[in-house]
Structure 1
């Protein structure tokens, strides 16, 4: 017989790393220009067809670029950080800090450990560093884009 125990979870912090609103007009404009070029290059096609295909494709691409979600969830006495489908119990985090914008290029460049877990979105300037202390995991730290690092760190540090 399987265990069908229900777990209650509380979301302490949630953020979707969406693309900026001002990316939409150029993205859709580029799709429209390409559709116009296709119309001029292939006169046998109905005029509306390239627009009907390329504008939704541009919209889907922009939505997918901004689909990553950062969450801090508590439930069953444990707190976890979720980034997309990856998750990490807070109990294995030894230190956490905001990465200043001035240090972002160094953190992603010459100081970056190749074994680190990195979720970087160029359109989200702030980042958070989560240093791990888990002997079973070779990942030394997580480096995450986050618009509100103070809120994320506060959600991690507050008691269960």
Structure 2
């Protein structure tokens, strides 16, 4: 995995925020698993408990509780936050100033599938969660950044694209 996949080269360290998004637009979403994901986390812990009851009931309950806490913690920790605030787009741990972004396009399920398959550029930054079937593709217009675009999972692609808006080309 290229070094920029986790933290793209244009990502900014914590510090003063960039200029606000024109019109004061903002967006904030945590891409949680859907109901089926939460059910499967609980069901896996329940099945482990049931499977271990014949071995030792006390151990079964203890390991089942540990499995439940572990699976729910994993679901929470792997749910990225997607945010447009204070002039920055944040997707998971990566951030980029909105001023360096171009056109943002909301993708439906079919367009997302194509964008992640045959249409994917290997240099793109992808913040994907399989449980969110839709996404937004936003062009990166930083001439020093080899990343051509970001592909970000979201359950509300039209709202995220609207918060990012359409930018004019960078000067220079």
Shift of 1:11: 7.7
- Structure 1, unaligned stretches of length 5 or more? none
Q: Quick check: 1:20 aligned with 2:28?
A: no
Cα distance in 1 for partners of 2:42, 2:67 equals 9
Residue of structure 2 in register with 1:57 after alignment: 70
**What pairs with 1:1-160 in structure 2 (closer than 5 Å)?**
12-40=26-54, 42-43=55-56, 46-66=59-79, 68-74=80-86, 79-157=87-165
Write the deviation string for residues 7-41 of structure 1: whole angstroms up to 9, x where unpaired: 7x88811000001123223321221111222332x
Deviation for aligned residue 1:45 = 5.4
Q: Secondary structure at the match of 1:48?
A: helix
Q: Taking structure 1 as the reference length, what is the TM-score of the superposition?
A: 0.80
Higher strand share: 1
Between the aligned partners of 1:23 and 1:44, the Cα distance in structure 2 is 27
Residue deviations 1:34-54, cap 9 Å, x none? 1222332x4385453222322
TM-score (norm 2): 0.75
CA 1:37 to 1:154, structure 2 compared with 1: closer, same or farther past 3 Å? same
Distance 1:46 1:96, change over 3 A: closer
Q: Which has the larger radius of gyration?
A: 1
RMSD of aligned C-alpha atoms?
2.7
Q: Is the 8 A contact 1:19 1:65 kept in 2?
A: no
**C-alpha contact (below 8 Å) 2:127/2:153 kept by paired residues:** yes
Report the number of matched residues: 149
SS in 2 for 1:122: coil
Distance (whole Å) between structure 2 residues aligned to residue 128 and residue 28 of structure 1? 30
Give the Cα separation in 1 of the matches to 2:58 and 2:101.
57
Look up the match of 2:170.
none
